[in-house]
Amino acid sequence: MYKNIEILDKEKLKGFKFDEVNTILVAKNIGLIPLGFSEIWTAAHDCPVIINSLDRGEFTAFTGITTELNIYNKENAYIPAFVRTYPFLSVDIKNEEGTFSSVISIDNNSKYVSKKKKENIFTKDKQLSENVNSKVETIRELNRQRDISRKIVQELKENDLLIKKDFKVKNNDIEKTFLEEFYIVDVKKLVNIEDSIIASWAKKGWMGIIDAHIKSLSNFPKVLSGK
């Protein structure tokens, strides 16, 4: 999955259709899933919510290492919006000025997308079908929320509140790295930050997101147990 991503072009994809996909199957094949800020509290109950990088970093659900070691082997684990819109997604394209723009795309996976599938992508008058349009609106809202998450991470970075981590597990004196270079909030520094900054973040609703992220870090064993 996500191996043949193309811009959603109504001429190139004329007559193409798609099948709805088992979203749990999609989720099991990702392992790191970007989150909108409104999803962080819910996802934090099931898995670690980490910060994926310092370069346009955002909050990301760490959901699995393999399809067997995965939180989606248990019932009722939260499935993020990024997964629910499959095979449609947003791709960020960097222009010559170094700024990014989001483009609605499709994973043109022949298993789910072809002229022989069930649901139309475009109508006869070349408009998005009702189902696809609903998915695209979900993607656009997710993009808006991800942009806010990036702003939160950027301010955490500017205030030197992020710690680089690796997820390693030692077994029989052999240490194995399952996740390299992610970031978490430095709680010791956070409690000593200026009150005015905390007040500003609380007013924006950011402190709840940061708190959910911190509490979620106890969920790493859930990923390894696959339960």
Q: How confident is the model over 76-122, as pLDDT tens digits?
A: 899 999 999 999 999 888 777 777 788 999 999 999 999 999 999 99
Residue 104, number of CB atoms within 10 A of its CB = 19
What pLDDT does 177 receive?
A: 76
Residue type, 10: K
pLDDT band at 155; cut points 50, 70, 90: very high
- Given strand 49-51, what is the order of strands in its sheet? 32-34, 59-62, 49-51, 174-185, 162-171
Helix axes 195-204, 206-216, angle to 10 degrees: 100
Q: What is the largest CA-CA distance in the chain?
A: 64
* Cβ-based neighbours of 176, under 8 Å, separated by 6 or more: 168, 169, 170
Report how far residue 203's alpha carbon sits from residue 226's, in angstroms, rounded to the nearest whole number: 37
Q: Residue type for 107, please?
A: D
Other Cβ atoms less than 10 A from the Cβ of 42: the count is: 15
| CA dihedral of residues 127, 130, 136, 141 (deg, nearest 10) | 130
For the entire predicted model, the pTM comes to 0.90
3-47: per-residue pLDDT in tens?
Answer: 899 999 999 999 999 999 999 999 999 999 999 999 999 999 999
Q: What is the mean pLDDT of the chain?
A: 92
